[in-house]
Amino acid sequence: MFEILNTEMQYLLFCLSTLFTVVNPLGITPIFAAMTEKFSNDDQKRIARKGIFTGSIVLIIFTLLGSFIFRFYGITVEAFQIMGGVIFFRSGLRMLDAQVGRSRTTQSERDEFKDGDELAISPIGVPLITGPGAITGVVILSGKGPTEYSTIVLLFSVIITMSLFYWILRAGNFLAKRIGIAGMRVIERMMGLILMVIAVQFIINGIETIANRII
Protein backbone atom coordinates (compact mmCIF):
# COMPACT_ATOMS: atom_id res chain seq x y z
CA MET A 1 0.00 0.00 0.00
CA PHE A 2 2.81 2.40 0.91
CA GLU A 3 4.56 1.59 -2.37
CA ILE A 4 1.40 2.41 -4.34
CA LEU A 5 0.97 5.67 -2.44
CA ASN A 6 4.58 6.65 -3.10
CA THR A 7 4.23 5.79 -6.80
CA GLU A 8 1.05 7.82 -7.14
CA MET A 9 2.60 10.80 -5.32
CA GLN A 10 5.44 10.82 -7.84
CA TYR A 11 2.89 10.53 -10.66
CA LEU A 12 0.88 13.42 -9.16
CA LEU A 13 3.93 15.69 -9.05
CA PHE A 14 4.85 14.74 -12.61
CA CYS A 15 1.29 15.44 -13.83
CA LEU A 16 1.14 18.79 -12.03
CA SER A 17 4.50 19.98 -13.33
CA THR A 18 3.72 18.85 -16.89
CA LEU A 19 0.20 20.30 -17.05
CA PHE A 20 1.12 23.61 -15.41
CA THR A 21 3.99 24.07 -17.83
CA VAL A 22 1.96 23.10 -20.89
CA VAL A 23 -1.05 25.35 -20.18
CA ASN A 24 1.38 28.24 -19.57
CA PRO A 25 -0.80 30.52 -17.38
CA LEU A 26 1.86 33.26 -17.15
CA GLY A 27 1.95 33.51 -20.93
CA ILE A 28 -1.83 33.45 -21.30
CA THR A 29 -2.62 36.00 -18.56
CA PRO A 30 -1.49 39.13 -20.50
CA ILE A 31 -3.52 37.99 -23.52
CA PHE A 32 -6.57 37.40 -21.33
CA ALA A 33 -6.17 40.89 -19.88
CA ALA A 34 -5.98 42.42 -23.36
CA MET A 35 -9.02 40.49 -24.60
CA THR A 36 -11.17 41.46 -21.61
CA GLU A 37 -9.96 45.01 -20.95
CA LYS A 38 -13.26 46.54 -22.17
CA PHE A 39 -15.26 44.51 -19.62
CA SER A 40 -15.89 45.45 -16.00
CA ASN A 41 -14.03 43.74 -13.17
CA ASP A 42 -17.07 41.57 -12.35
CA ASP A 43 -17.43 40.57 -15.99
CA GLN A 44 -13.74 39.68 -16.13
CA LYS A 45 -14.18 37.39 -13.12
CA ARG A 46 -17.19 35.74 -14.77
CA ILE A 47 -15.34 35.30 -18.07
CA ALA A 48 -12.33 33.81 -16.27
CA ARG A 49 -14.53 31.36 -14.34
CA LYS A 50 -16.42 30.27 -17.44
CA GLY A 51 -13.25 30.00 -19.51
CA ILE A 52 -11.52 27.88 -16.87
CA PHE A 53 -14.65 25.74 -16.48
CA THR A 54 -14.84 25.17 -20.24
CA GLY A 55 -11.16 24.29 -20.47
CA SER A 56 -11.42 21.97 -17.45
CA ILE A 57 -14.35 20.05 -18.93
CA VAL A 58 -12.40 19.50 -22.16
CA LEU A 59 -9.35 18.22 -20.27
CA ILE A 60 -11.47 15.95 -18.05
CA ILE A 61 -13.18 14.46 -21.12
CA PHE A 62 -9.85 13.68 -22.79
CA THR A 63 -8.47 12.33 -19.52
CA LEU A 64 -11.33 9.83 -19.29
CA LEU A 65 -11.22 9.00 -23.01
CA GLY A 66 -7.44 8.64 -23.25
CA SER A 67 -7.30 4.83 -23.05
CA PHE A 68 -10.35 4.53 -25.33
CA ILE A 69 -8.63 6.70 -27.97
CA PHE A 70 -5.58 4.43 -27.88
CA ARG A 71 -7.68 1.27 -28.28
CA PHE A 72 -10.14 2.64 -30.85
CA TYR A 73 -7.53 3.97 -33.25
CA GLY A 74 -4.93 1.32 -32.49
CA ILE A 75 -2.45 3.96 -31.34
CA THR A 76 0.35 3.01 -28.97
CA VAL A 77 1.27 5.16 -26.00
CA GLU A 78 4.79 5.36 -27.38
CA ALA A 79 3.62 6.85 -30.70
CA PHE A 80 1.62 9.47 -28.82
CA GLN A 81 4.61 10.17 -26.58
CA ILE A 82 6.87 10.88 -29.57
CA MET A 83 4.25 13.05 -31.29
CA GLY A 84 3.45 14.84 -28.02
CA GLY A 85 7.15 15.40 -27.40
CA VAL A 86 7.45 17.18 -30.75
CA ILE A 87 4.44 19.39 -29.93
CA PHE A 88 5.77 20.16 -26.46
CA PHE A 89 9.21 21.00 -27.84
CA ARG A 90 7.73 23.50 -30.30
CA SER A 91 5.64 25.04 -27.50
CA GLY A 92 8.73 25.26 -25.30
CA LEU A 93 10.63 27.08 -28.05
CA ARG A 94 7.80 29.63 -28.32
CA MET A 95 7.82 30.10 -24.55
CA LEU A 96 11.57 30.77 -24.67
CA ASP A 97 10.70 33.63 -27.03
CA ALA A 98 7.79 34.56 -24.71
CA GLN A 99 5.27 33.91 -27.48
CA VAL A 100 1.96 32.06 -27.55
CA GLY A 101 1.54 29.64 -30.42
CA ARG A 102 -0.61 30.67 -33.37
CA SER A 103 -2.74 27.58 -32.78
CA ARG A 104 -3.97 29.16 -29.57
CA THR A 105 -5.68 32.27 -30.86
CA THR A 106 -5.65 34.79 -33.70
CA GLN A 107 -6.14 38.56 -33.81
CA SER A 108 -9.46 38.16 -35.63
CA GLU A 109 -10.70 35.87 -32.84
CA ARG A 110 -9.70 38.45 -30.25
CA ASP A 111 -11.62 41.19 -32.04
CA GLU A 112 -14.65 39.15 -33.14
CA PHE A 113 -16.51 38.53 -29.90
CA LYS A 114 -18.23 41.28 -28.00
CA ASP A 115 -20.33 39.03 -25.79
CA GLY A 116 -18.50 37.89 -22.65
CA ASP A 117 -20.12 34.44 -22.56
CA GLU A 118 -19.10 33.65 -26.14
CA LEU A 119 -15.62 34.98 -25.48
CA ALA A 120 -15.28 32.83 -22.34
CA ILE A 121 -16.08 29.59 -24.19
CA SER A 122 -14.10 30.32 -27.34
CA PRO A 123 -11.44 31.50 -27.90
CA ILE A 124 -10.58 31.86 -24.18
CA GLY A 125 -11.75 28.46 -22.88
CA VAL A 126 -10.71 26.65 -26.03
CA PRO A 127 -8.12 27.01 -27.50
CA LEU A 128 -6.45 29.75 -25.40
CA ILE A 129 -6.61 28.05 -21.98
CA THR A 130 -6.92 24.48 -23.23
CA GLY A 131 -4.97 24.20 -26.46
CA PRO A 132 -3.66 21.24 -28.45
CA GLY A 133 -0.65 20.90 -26.15
CA ALA A 134 -2.76 20.56 -22.99
CA ILE A 135 -5.10 18.04 -24.65
CA THR A 136 -2.14 16.02 -25.92
CA GLY A 137 -0.61 16.18 -22.45
CA VAL A 138 -3.57 14.65 -20.61
CA VAL A 139 -3.96 11.93 -23.25
CA ILE A 140 -0.29 10.96 -22.88
CA LEU A 141 -0.42 11.13 -19.08
CA SER A 142 -3.58 8.99 -19.03
CA GLY A 143 -1.65 6.28 -20.85
CA LYS A 144 1.33 6.47 -18.48
CA GLY A 145 -0.56 5.88 -15.23
CA PRO A 146 1.38 3.39 -13.05
CA THR A 147 -1.63 1.96 -11.15
CA GLU A 148 -5.40 1.60 -11.40
CA TYR A 149 -5.77 4.76 -9.30
CA SER A 150 -3.84 6.92 -11.76
CA THR A 151 -6.91 8.25 -13.58
CA ILE A 152 -8.19 9.72 -10.32
CA VAL A 153 -4.76 11.24 -9.65
CA LEU A 154 -4.68 12.78 -13.14
CA LEU A 155 -8.18 14.21 -12.72
CA PHE A 156 -7.08 15.70 -9.40
CA SER A 157 -4.04 17.20 -11.16
CA VAL A 158 -6.29 18.79 -13.80
CA ILE A 159 -8.51 20.35 -11.12
CA ILE A 160 -5.52 21.71 -9.16
CA THR A 161 -3.83 23.08 -12.30
CA MET A 162 -6.95 24.80 -13.60
CA SER A 163 -7.74 26.22 -10.14
CA LEU A 164 -4.25 27.75 -9.99
CA PHE A 165 -4.76 29.00 -13.55
CA TYR A 166 -7.93 30.83 -12.48
CA TRP A 167 -6.23 32.60 -9.58
CA ILE A 168 -3.28 33.57 -11.77
CA LEU A 169 -5.74 35.05 -14.31
CA ARG A 170 -7.43 37.01 -11.55
CA ALA A 171 -4.09 38.16 -10.09
CA GLY A 172 -2.66 39.12 -13.48
CA ASN A 173 -2.58 42.87 -12.83
CA PHE A 174 -1.17 42.36 -9.34
CA LEU A 175 1.58 40.05 -10.65
CA ALA A 176 2.43 42.50 -13.40
CA LYS A 177 2.86 45.27 -10.82
CA ARG A 178 4.82 43.17 -8.30
CA ILE A 179 7.25 41.30 -10.56
CA GLY A 180 6.71 43.26 -13.76
CA ILE A 181 6.10 42.07 -17.29
CA ALA A 182 9.83 41.36 -17.63
CA GLY A 183 9.72 39.15 -14.52
CA MET A 184 6.74 37.21 -15.88
CA ARG A 185 8.60 36.72 -19.17
CA VAL A 186 11.66 35.37 -17.34
CA ILE A 187 9.50 32.84 -15.48
CA GLU A 188 7.76 31.91 -18.72
CA ARG A 189 11.11 31.28 -20.41
CA MET A 190 12.20 29.07 -17.51
CA MET A 191 8.96 27.09 -17.87
CA GLY A 192 9.63 26.83 -21.61
CA LEU A 193 13.03 25.29 -20.90
CA ILE A 194 11.45 22.80 -18.49
CA LEU A 195 8.81 21.92 -21.08
CA MET A 196 11.51 21.27 -23.70
CA VAL A 197 13.28 18.90 -21.28
CA ILE A 198 10.00 17.06 -20.64
CA ALA A 199 9.46 16.89 -24.41
CA VAL A 200 12.88 15.35 -25.04
CA GLN A 201 12.30 12.82 -22.26
CA PHE A 202 8.92 11.85 -23.76
CA ILE A 203 10.58 11.27 -27.14
CA ILE A 204 13.45 9.27 -25.60
CA ASN A 205 11.04 7.09 -23.59
CA GLY A 206 8.90 6.42 -26.65
CA ILE A 207 11.86 5.49 -28.88
CA GLU A 208 13.47 3.41 -26.12
CA THR A 209 10.30 1.36 -25.55
CA ILE A 210 9.87 0.73 -29.29
CA ALA A 211 13.55 -0.25 -29.62
CA ASN A 212 13.26 -2.71 -26.72
CA ARG A 213 10.28 -4.37 -28.39
CA ILE A 214 12.18 -4.76 -31.65
CA ILE A 215 15.30 -6.10 -29.93
- At 212, the amino acid letter reads N
pLDDT score for 21: 94
Question: Which pTM was predicted?
Answer: 0.85
Q: How far apart are CA 105 and CA 152, in angstroms?
A: 31
Tell me which residues of the chain have a pLDDT lower than 50.
102-103
Question: What domains are defined for the chain?
Answer: 2-214 (1.20.1250)
For residue 106, the model assigns a pLDDT of 56
Burial 78-116 (b: 16+ CB within 10 A, else e): bebbbbbbebbbbbbbbbbebebbeebbeeebeeebeeb
The amino acid sitting at 133 is G
pLDDT at 121: 94
Q: What are phi and psi of 205, to 5 degrees?
A: -60, -40
Among candidate residues 141, 16, 8, 15, the one with its CA nearest the CA of residue 70: 141
Positive or negative torsion for Cα 137, 143, 144, 146: positive
Residue 103, pLDDT score: 47
pLDDT, position 163: 97
